[in-house]
Chain A
Amino acid sequence: MLDLAWQAAYYNFLWHLEEYHKALTKAGYNPNQPRVPAGNPDGGQWTGGGGGSGGGNSHDSGARTQNINLYPDAIEPVYPIEAALTFFTGGQVVAAVRSLRGLWAAGATASSRRIGGAAKAIEDYLGGPGRTIEKNGNFVFIRGSKKVRLDIGNPGRDKPHFQIEKQTPRGNWKDAGAQHRYYFRKGERP
């Protein structure tokens, strides 16, 4: 039963990810506009120079910064992607499912902000919303030479997992980090 709860949570996560992308597009987000790198106090925000016409709040601080932050009270401006995706542990997932089903319409909840954080982590890794493709309930988010794969609907002979990949200059794809698969439960192994 817990497996079902986890996977249901991630379907919700994906639905919100799509909504997040739609909202960004509606706000005039330009994926080609450069962003302040992680580690900087403004990390993850869009900088000037890319010619974006986006909405959201803007302010001048040296380089013009354009802030389209749909989740302003996220814990950190930029999440390491692994941390964001594995943030859903134990009862938090069940709580997230319940609050998303029951409370999303009433406005942002702590859980929805976490999901926004995970969506943002993917976007930060890709450098923008990228493209979403699907097969059998498995999702691939891809932009340029970066890819995030969520094997949820049909994870083969393994537990649901996600993979973070990059394309080499030769053209093949390989793991971006030391780990081949990341599982949604803390400490879970193949």
Chain B
Amino acid sequence: MKLSAVITKPKRTFCEITSVGLPWEYGTVGVELFVALDHEYPSHREIVASVEEAKQIALEKFGVSPDVWEPVKQWQAESGSRRFIIEHSYFYNTAGAIDSEGYYLYVFEGSRNTRDDLQDTFAWAKTVALEDFGVPLDAWREVTS
């Protein structure tokens, strides 16, 4: 489960709520609230018990309305000893408006993330997984919450 929210006021802020662990481990521990404020470091990371609690914290600390959260599209596949995730992502310009979108291909060996490719389309992310790692095109299943 992964949710994403972006606001531009009072400050450009990127937020994610993600189940702790990797997708095949989801639902076990809790959720992580990640908040990246424009040009401020460190990013805020906090483990809480539930999505609702994370949304409440995001609202109180960062002004992120509960209405702006959107699910992030994810697909998962396995091949040999590796696991693969394709994740849809929007990208933003410096004014905070959506500029473009892309698809990350993440490769995991155990819990280690060994590769992250960014392609322009879902089809290309799957094709790269096929050509570089032998992941069949029909092996992908959507795990978007």
Contacts and interface: CB of A to CB of B under 8 A. Distances in A.
B90 interface: yes
16 contacts: A8-B41, A11-B39, A131-B99, A133-B93, A134-B93, A134-B94, A135-B90, A135-B91, A151-B116, A153-B36, A153-B41, A154-B16, A156-B116, A157-B112, A158-B113, A173-B124
A171 B120 CA distance: 8
A81 to B, nearest CB: 18
B118 A154 contact: no
Interface string A122-139: 000000000111111100
A10 to B, nearest CB: 9
A150 B40 CA distance: 16
A4 B43 CA distance: 10
Interface of A: 4, 7-8, 11, 14-15, 18, 131-137, 140, 147, 149, 151, 153-154, 156-158, 163, 165, 171-174, 180, 190
B140 interface: no
Contacts of A7: 41-42
B81 interface: no
A149 B118 CA distance: 9
Leading 5 A-B pairs by shortest Cβ distance? A137-B36, A133-B91, A157-B113, A153-B36, A136-B14
B117 interface: yes
A132 to B, nearest CB: 6
A147 B100 CA distance: 14
- Give the interface size class of chain B: 20 to 34
A190 B108 CA distance: 12
B86 to A, nearest CB: 13
Given A11-B41, A135-B89, A136-B16, A180 B115 contact: yes
Contacts of A174: 117
A8 B40 CA distance: 8
B26 interface: no
Interface of B: 14, 16, 34, 36, 39-43, 89-94, 99-100, 106, 111-120, 124, 127-128
Given A136-B34, A137-B36, A173-B119, A153 B93 contact: no
A156 B41 contact: no
A115 B121 CA distance: 33
Chain A interface, DSSP helix/strand/loop, else mixed: mixed
A134 B98 CA distance: 9
B97 to A, nearest CB: 10
Contacts of A165: 118
Given A4-B42, A153-B41, A172-B127, 11 more contacts: A8-B41, A18-B94, A134-B92, A134-B93, A135-B90, A140-B118, A147-B118, A149-B118, A153-B43, A173-B118, A173-B124
Contacts of B99: 131, 133
B14 A137 contact: yes
Given A11-B39, A173-B119, A154 B34 contact: yes
Given A133-B99, A156-B113, A171 B92 contact: no
Contact of A156 (B106, B119, B128): B106
